[in-house]
Amino acid sequence: MPPDLERKNLVDSSEGLEADSVSSGNAIKSTSIPLGRSIRLLISSSLLGNGSVCTQSLRGIKATFTIGMDDAYDYSILEGMDPDDLHAEFKTYVADVAKFLKTSVSKENTLDQYFTDMLARMVFNSNMIENAGGGYDITFKLCKEVFDGNVVEDIIERHPDYEAHKRDLVRKNLPTGMDAVLRSRREIVQHAKATSYIFQSICIKGNDLTEEIILETHRILAHKVNTEDGTSWTQYAGVYRQCPVMAGLHQYMDHGRVPSAMKTMIRDLETDIQAAVETGEIDPVALAAKYCHIFVNIHPFLDGNGRMCRLILNAILLKYGGGLVCIGEDGKDRDEYEKIAVSASFKEASHQDDDYEGVPESMKPKPYKELASFTLRHARNNMRKVFHRHRS
């Protein structure tokens, strides 16, 4: 989706289930279970081994879904790869991973670390899309601390991490003063805390995605991080925007429509999940891409919408498909993602002027088809990595 308020000079610097968590601006205090382990336990318990998933659907009621394929994919953007084949492979790997996790007791610690690393890469890549945060090494270090339930404090110049943050800022051609160092660090730490909060809430505790969870996730993400134009975090963190926003030449919906649009988004998500409950079939990739797209085109916050939409995408995909995607793996992947995002936003804007009242949902345009295909490729690749790296 279109990136957060744009930062200049982007360069590539990369090449038990009920664990309680209490969110605050300064920390997420976990009782004991690291997030990577919680994710492994969640996937192990929810994937059934036959291409099905058992999860809490609406209002905490458990439901079992067969993973099926929606008609929400673009067949022209994957350089010769067929979404039908990718989806079949994804479903096969879901079944293979389910069987593997249930018989891999000796590899539990290795798997826990693997999922922790994957979450850290997800944060790093998402930050790179926005030219936020820091380099690979410091991001992984700080994310691991957060995901393991440790408190990560701000730093002073004598702190061992200070020079690492400063070097990363130099590589990005960004200011290197104390304020810039603190901002870089907070963009990593708060992103990791926001990840922990939304995954704990939606996936591990099984809550429905709500406006309240979205607002709290954003409040954590933006804590002590002012916007590039100097707006204080106290004015926009966890608050729907009160002004127009643009990305390039594209202007998002009027801020007066944001509250009702968010309510509609949540209501539509519940409707889609209820329909899946009734049919017993769900496409977690298409569902995740759809609501990632809807959210970012509402663009409800002054800043942080890109990172938020990717958190929502991953939370839905993990809950209903047992998968994660690390979008923005390198410069090429980021460029492809951003082109898809821009295209989808313009398609969304062009459809808003059309009257689809009374038109069946299946007949309405799906501007997120390219994003769904892009996400599917990542979901297949990541599920394949989980299986092949640890089965031997």
The active-site residue out of 191, 299, 378, 390 is 299
| 262 annotated to a ligand binding site | no
Q: CA 43 to CA 286: how far, in whole Å?
A: 19
| 127 annotated to a ligand binding site | no
Q: CA 167 to CA 175: how far, in whole Å?
A: 11
Is there a catalytic annotation at residue 299? yes
| 304 annotated to a ligand binding site | yes
Q: Which uninterrupted H or E stretch holds 246?
A: strand 246-247
C-alpha count within 13 angstroms, C-beta hemisphere, residue 165: 28
Q: CA 40 to CA 269: how far, in whole Å?
A: 26
Residue owning tokens 């689809």: 356
Cβ proximity of 371 and 340 under 8 Å: yes
Cβ proximity of 316 and 291 under 8 Å: yes
| 355 annotated to a ligand binding site | no
Of 365, 381, 327, 311, the C-alpha closest to 87 is 381
Cβ proximity of 317 and 286 under 8 Å: no
Of 181, 88, 183, 142, the C-alpha closest to 383 is 88
DSSP-H helix ranges across the chain: 35-46, 83-101, 108-129, 136-147, 162-171, 178-198, 211-221, 233-236, 258-279, 284-298, 305-321, 331-352, 369-390
| 207 annotated to a ligand binding site | no
CA-based torsion, 276, 282, 283, 289: positive or negative:
positive
Long-range contacts of 205-214 (CB under 8 A, 24+ apart): 205/18, 206/55, 206/56, 206/60, 206/319, 207/60, 208/58, 208/59, 208/270, 209/266, 209/269, 209/291, 209/312, 209/315, 209/316, 210/266, 211/262, 211/263, 211/266, 214/262, 214/295, 214/300, 214/308, 214/312
| 9 annotated to a ligand binding site | no
Annotate 178-198 with b (16+ C-beta within 10 A) or e (fewer).
eeebbbbbbbbbbbbbbbbbb
Which residues contribute to the annotated binding site? Answer: 303-310
Question: Which of the residues are catalytic?
Answer: 299
Which residues contribute to the annotated binding site for ATP? Answer: 303-310
